[in-house]
Amino acid sequence: MKNKRKLLLTLFLITWAVFSVVQFVKQAPNYLVKSYFQSDTFQSTKENFIDQLGNYVLMPFDADKAKETIKVTQGEIEEYRYLYGTLTEQVESIQSQYRGRIMEAEESNDATLKELLVEERDKKIDDIKKNFESDDYVKEKIRKQKEQLIDEYATEQEEGKKAFLNEFSYFSYHFVNVDTGETFDSKTSQKSNLFTENYGEKDPLIVNNSVHLNSYDDNPYSEVQNTIPEFQIDGASGRFEGSISVPKSMLSNSIFGTEYQYFTIAKTTYIIIWLTGILAIVGLFTFARPKMSMFRESSHIKEAFLRLPIDVRIILILVVSFMSFGLIEYIGNSVINHILYFNPINLITFSFEQLVFLFVTFISIAAILFGTIWTWDSIKNEPKIENQLQNAMLYRLADGLKDLFLNRSIGVQSVAVLIIVFLAGIGFVGAMYSGELLIIYILLVFFIGLPASILLLRRIGYLNRIMQQTEDMARGRLTNDIKVKGKSPLAKHAANLNALREGVKKSMSEQAKSERLKTELITNVSHDLRTPLTSIITYTDLLKNPDLTDEQRKQYIDVLDKKSARLKTLIEDLFEVSKMASGNIEITKQKLDLTQLVQQAIGEHEEAFSLSNLELRIMMPDSPLYAYVDGQKMWRVIDNLIVNTLKYSLEGTRVYVTLKQLGSNIEFSVKNVSKYELNENVQELTERFKRADASRHTDGSGLGLAIAQSIVDLHNGRLAVEVDGDLFKVTVTILGIS
C-alpha cells in the first residue's frame, strides 16, 4: 500500500512538472521578461495604429487633388471601347436584348412601352457609335467614372477615420510635419503615461498616401458586370517627428485596460505554475524520487500491452503524448481566461471540468511513462529485435502490399477500388451539403462507382467459383474444368488450375502405372530368379543319390552349370540396370565407327540366324559413320537388340537391321515380326523385366531393352519402340560427328 501511495505521488509530481514545463516552453517568451508593452499583442496594435494614423490624420486623402491628377491613356480608351466586342457585335447584342421585349409590347398593343423601349435601344446604340467615333467622348466617360470612384473612396476614408478615432481612443499622439511645419495633436496628452514612443530626426515617421483604385461598373449594354481598369492615385508623402503614448488614465475606460489586465493576470498565473513546477521537480529528486522497479511490476495490463505489435505500442504512446500536450495547453488557457473573466456562478462547473481534464492528463502521462518503460524493456530484453520487427503491423502491412503487387494487375485494381471507395465516402459527405455536388455525385456513382461495383462483384463471384472448384480438386474430384472467363488475372489463375488438374490426373495415372509396374516387377523378378534356383536345388538333391551313373551325374552337372550361369546373368543384368537408373555408372566416350561396330555384332550372330530359320537383311553404308560413344556400352545396346530378334522373331520371317545418317544424327534400327502377340503398351517394353513373351517361356531376363534404354540415355540419345500389329521396330538415334 505504501509503495502504491508513493507511486501515485510520483506520478502526480511528474504530471505537474510536465504541465509546468510545457507552459514554460509555450508562454515564457511572452511573459517571463516582457512587460505588456513589449508583448506581441501590443506591438501589433501599435503598428496598426501608426498605419491608420498616417492614412487618416497625418496625410489624409484629398479628393480634389486626386481628381486633378487623373490621366486617361490611349490604352484605357481602346480597352473601354472594345470591352464588349466590335461595333457590329455590340450593336447586334443591344438589338437582340430589346427585340423580344419590343415584340411583347407589340403583341400586347402597348404603344407607349414600345416607344420607350425603342428610344432606350436607339440611345444605347448611338452611345456605342460615339464610342467608336470620338476618343474624347470615351475619355470623358472614363474620367467621370474615375472621379466617381475617387468620391466613393473619399467617403469611405471619412467613415474609416471616425472608426479609427473611436477604436484607438486610448492612444495620444503629437506630430509635426518636417517639410511643412504643420502640427497634429490628439489634445489628450498627459504627463503620466504608461507607454511612450518617440520619432525623432534620426528615425522620423514616414507616411505615403498613394492608393490603387479599381471599380466594378454595370455594363450599359448587357446584364453582365465587367471590371474597369485599375488606376493609381499618386499622393504626397511626408516625414513626421513626434511621439505616441498611452495615458495612465486609459487603464479603466478602454479595451486597452482589459488587455493590460489580462496580460498582468496571465503573467502572475504562469509564474505561479512555473514555481510550483520547480517544486515538483525538486520533489522528484528528493522525497518522491521514482524507482524504476515501481514501473516494471507485472500486471494484466502490462501483459496485454506487450502482446500488441511494437509499432502499435509506439503509435499509441505518440497519440497519447499529443493528446496530453493538447490537454495541457487547453487547461492553461482556460485557467487564465477564467481568472480574467471570473464568474462565481460558473465556478463549480469550471472547477469540475478542469479536475476532469487534469485527471485525464494524469492518466495519459502515467500511460506514456508505463508504455515507454515497458516497450524499452521488451526491446532491451528481447534476444532478437528482428522478431518484434517482423511482427510489427507496418512490417506485415508492407509485406502484404508487396504480395499484393506480385500480380501488378490485381494490385492496381485493388488500389483503384480502395481509392474509389474513399472518394465515394468524401463525395457523399459533400453531396449532403450542396445540391450541385449531389448531382455531380450521382453522375460519378452512375458512370464510375456502379460499373466498378459490378466489376468487383463479378470478380468476387468468379473467385468464389474458382475457390469452390479448387476445393473439389483438393478432395480428389477432378471431373470438370474450371471455366476460363476473359483475360483477367483470375482467368489466368483458372487456366493454371486446369493445367494443374491435368497434371494431377496424369500424375495419378503415372502413379497407378508405377504401382502396377512395381507389382509386376516383383512378380517377374521372383519368377525369373526362382526358376533357375529351383532347378539348382532339385538337381543338387538328385546328385546326392549314390546310385547315379556317371552319365546321369554328368547330365545333372551340365544342367546345374547352365542354371547357375542363367542365375548369374540375371543378377548381373539387374545390378547393371540399377546402377544405370541411379546414375552411378561412368561412361568413357571416344570417336568410334558405328558401321564397323554393327558389322561385328551381326557377324557374331550370323550362325544363330541361319539355325533359327530367320532371313537377315542388312542395310548400312560402305563408308564409316563416326560418333563419340562408349564402345563397350554401345556394343551392349546393339547386341541386345539383335539378340531380341533371335528370341522373339517369328520363324521364316525377315529381320531388318539398318544403319544410316540422318542430318547430324546416326540412326540404327532393328525391325522384325514378333512370334508373340504384342497386346500391351509398347512403351512398357523398356521397363525392367517386361517381355513380349508374357508366359516367360524364353530364356530372356526382360532387362535387355531396359539396359539399352539406359545406355542410350547416358549418351543423350533417343530409343524409340514402334509396334504395328505384329511388326516390332526399335530405333536408336545418336548424335554423329563428321
pLDDT of 5-62, one tens digit each? 888 888 888 889 998 998 888 888 878 767 888 888 788 888 999 988 888 888 888 8
Specify the pLDDT at position 478: 64
Boundary-marking domain end, from 200, 219, 253: 253
Is the same domain home to 116 and 152?
Answer: yes
Q: What pLDDT shows up at residue 672? A: 92
* Arithmetic mean of pLDDT, 638-657: 88
pLDDT greater than 50 at residue 226: no
Residue 687, pLDDT above cutoff 50: no
Cell of 268: 502572475
- CA atoms 711, 713, 717, 722: torsion sign: positive
Using CB atoms within 10 A of its CB, is residue 211 exposed (0-12), middle (13-18) or buried (19+)? middle
pLDDT given at position 444: 74
d(CA 494, CA 249): 91
Is residue 244 domain-shared with residue 262, that is, in the same domain? no
| pLDDT reported for residue 700 | 46
Least confident of 12-26, 88-102, 289-303: 289-303
Mean residue pLDDT across the chain: 79
Q: Which one of 431, 446, 474 terminates a domain?
A: 474
Look at residue 503 and tell me if it is in a domain: no
- Cell for 378? 521488451
- Please give the average per-residue pLDDT across 672-698, as a whole number: 57
| 27 and 73 both lie in a single domain | no
Q: Is residue 504 part of a domain?
A: no
Q: How confident is the model at residue 164 (pLDDT cuts 50, 70, 90)?
A: confident
In a domain, 516, yes or no: no
**CA 591 vs CA 600, 636, 733: distances in Å:** 17, 17, 16
Closest by alpha carbon to 668, among 676, 680, 659? 659
Q: Sorting pLDDT into bands at 50, 70 and 90, what band is 496?
A: confident
Q: Tell which wins on pLDDT, 210 or 159.
A: 159
Asked whether residue 24 falls in the same domain as residue 11, the answer is: yes
DSSP string of 675-712? SS---S-GGGGGSTT--S-TT--SS--S-HHHHHHHHH
Q: How confident is the model at residue 694 (pLDDT cuts 50, 70, 90)?
A: very low
**Structural domain tally of the chain?**
4
Same domain, 190 and 274: no
Q: Which residues contact 110 (CB under 8 A, 6 or more apart)?
A: none
Pick the range with the lowest mean pLDDT from 83-92, 267-276, 648-657, 706-715: 706-715
More confident residue, 524 or 472: 472
Q: Is 315 found in the same domain as 426?
A: no
156 and 87 housed in the same domain: yes
Same domain, 177 and 163: yes
Question: Final residue of a domain: which of 344, 371, 394?
Answer: 394
pTM: 0.48
More confident residue, 693 or 564: 564
Res 453 pLDDT > 70: yes
3 state SS of 661: strand
CATH number (domain holding residue 610): 3.30.565.10
- Residue 549 falls inside a structural domain: no
In a domain, 80, yes or no: yes
For 346, what's the count of Cα atoms within 13 Å in the CB-facing half-sphere? 11
| Position 635 in a domain | yes
Tell me: pLDDT of 398 over 70.
Answer: no
Q: Which of these, 657, 599, 601, 593, lies nearest to 625 by C-alpha position? A: 593
- Domain span at residue 245 reads 36-253
Same domain as 155, residue 134: yes
At 689, phi and psi to the nearest 5?
A: 65, 20
Task: Based on the fold, state whether residues 137 and 193 are members of the same structural domain.
Answer: yes
3-class secondary-structure state, position 185: strand
Does residue 699 register a pLDDT over 70? no
Give 564's pLDDT tier (boundaries 50, 70, 90): confident
Task: Give all strands of the β-sheet with 615-619 in edge-to-edge order.
Answer: 615-619, 654-662, 665-673, 727-735, 718-724
Question: Same domain for 214 and 308?
Answer: no
- Model confidence pLDDT, tens digit, residues 331-346: 887 877 766 565 666 6
In a domain, 180, yes or no: yes
**Most confidently predicted of 318-322, 372-376, 401-405:** 318-322
Residue 102's alpha-carbon distances to 39, 105, 162, 415, 683, in angstroms, are: 69, 5, 50, 61, 104
Indicate whether 377 and 468 sit together in one domain.
no
**Which span out of 7-16, 210-219, 291-300 was modeled with the highest average pLDDT?**
7-16
Distances (CA, A) of 284 to 291, 359, 365, 370, 501: 10, 19, 15, 17, 73
CB 677, CB 726: distance < 8 Å: yes
Whether 499 maps to a domain, the answer reads: no
